[in-house]
Amino acid sequence: MFRSVGILRKMSTMESGRPDWPWKKAKKVAMMLSFSGKKYLGMQRNQGCSTVEEELLKALRDSGAIPPEWYDNASKSFFQRASRTDKGVSAAKMVVSLKMLNEDGTRDKINAKLPSDIRVQDVKRVTKNFNSKNSCDARTYLYMLPTLAFAPIDSISDESYHITSDVKIKVNATLKLFEGSHYFHNYTSGKLPMEPSSLRFITDFEMQEPFERDGIEFAIIKVKGQSFMLNQIRKMIGMVIAVVKGYASEPVIEESWGVQRIDIPRAPGLGLLLEEVHYERYNYKFGKDGLHDDLKWESVKDEVEKFKEDFIFSEIVDTEREEKSMITWMGNLLLHKFEPRHFEKDMKQFTPIEKAKALLKYDKKESNEKEIDDDS
């Protein structure tokens, strides 16, 4: 009788497509990886395209961490990325969650199947309901740029430029204006003024101390917030550069959160990278329960920093030297007027019914689209 029950269970497993041994031992994990995005058309899988996820899933399959059918349909492993990234964007600490076999040496086996510009840095056991995107509290991005971007209009803006202390103070003072809750409809596309989904909260925005690489002075701008919309970070950087250089005045920033449209330049994509995904609530609740690790990744800090130096920062420096993307972009700043103009129709002129219809239209549109909560 017991044998018959076992046979029936095995047949049921085969018919349902659920993986048999050893995949029954698969557990939910959080995997942290670093990658240089130069060769890839983004993080997310896209059929026929070279993406980070495609390389990762192949390596998981070929290393024996997931069965072939989970590679073909990643949802069977409950695979979820913390953020999407656009073409060329890199990440220092991207996190994905999935079910997989996680035995001794699994990380090294996966890395052996990955190209050198993608590294799995750590794998940690998490709760069965953990979702790398939905469990995330905040994200930190970095933007690395040559300091010549902040050179005043009447000064020389070439590779010999070194930022002064006064300009550094002005840069950080301007960045601080973005902290707190604001409507960022002018910093993305497809959003009406004061639309609830464009309300975002930024906790920290600052420029770190400049440094020199290959004869060019660079600086890194660090921004942390709950989530970011399409193009938001690049447009915030573009606005800060315009204000510091003197093309726009500080009051324009305040006006950009209001009901009128402001023409805001989008800074070059080169230099943008996802630095970290934060799980503070999860760490507080489960990080010290004795069954799960916290998701702070301190044990691989040195490995992450080395990867950033070898594959991300060096690539940004080399590309900037060759293509001079920032200098080219600054040449177009004169084309931006920074003058308020009406959206499709000034919201002050909308009747209450028109406002409700417009917002309902955009809410329906948004509900049918995939959420974009990272810059791309």
pLDDT of the chain, 376 residues: tens digit per residue: 445 444 444 444 444 445 566 778 899 999 999 999 999 999 999 988 999 999 999 999 999 999 999 999 999 999 999 999 988 899 999 999 999 999 999 999 999 999 999 999 999 999 999 999 999 999 999 999 999 999 998 887 788 999 999 999 999 999 999 999 999 999 998 899 989 999 999 999 999 999 999 999 999 999 999 999 999 999 999 999 999 999 999 999 999 999 989 999 999 999 999 999 999 999 999 988 888 889 999 999 999 999 999 999 999 999 999 999 999 999 999 888 888 876 654 455 555 555 555 555 544 444 443 333 453 3
Instruction: For residue 264, give every residue at least 6 positions away whose Cβ sits within 8 Å of its Cβ, in sequence order, or none.
Output: 186, 187, 235, 238, 239, 256, 336, 338
Catalytic site residues? Answer: 86
**b/e burial code for range 175-214 (CB count within 10 A of at least 16 → b):** bebbbeebbbbbbbeebbbebebbebebeebebeeeeebe
Residue corresponding to tokens 């995005």: 37
* Integer Cα distance of 142 and 34 in angstroms: 14
Report residue 276 as tokens.
């970290």
Write down the pLDDT at residue 21.
60
Instruction: For residue 254, give every residue at least 6 positions away whose Cβ sits within 8 Å of its Cβ, in sequence order, or none.
Output: 177
Predicted TM-score (pTM) of the model is 0.85
**Does residue 187 have a known ligand-binding role?**
no
Write down the pLDDT at residue 19.
55
What residue ranges define each of the domains in the chain, with the CATH number in brackets?
22-125 (3.30.70.580), 138-277+320-367 (3.30.70.660)
Pseudo-torsion of CA 220, 222, 227, 231, nearest 10°? -30
- Sign of the dihedral defined by the CA atoms of residues 19, 22, 25, 31, in that order: negative
Task: Report residue 262: phi and psi, to 5°.
Answer: -120, 135
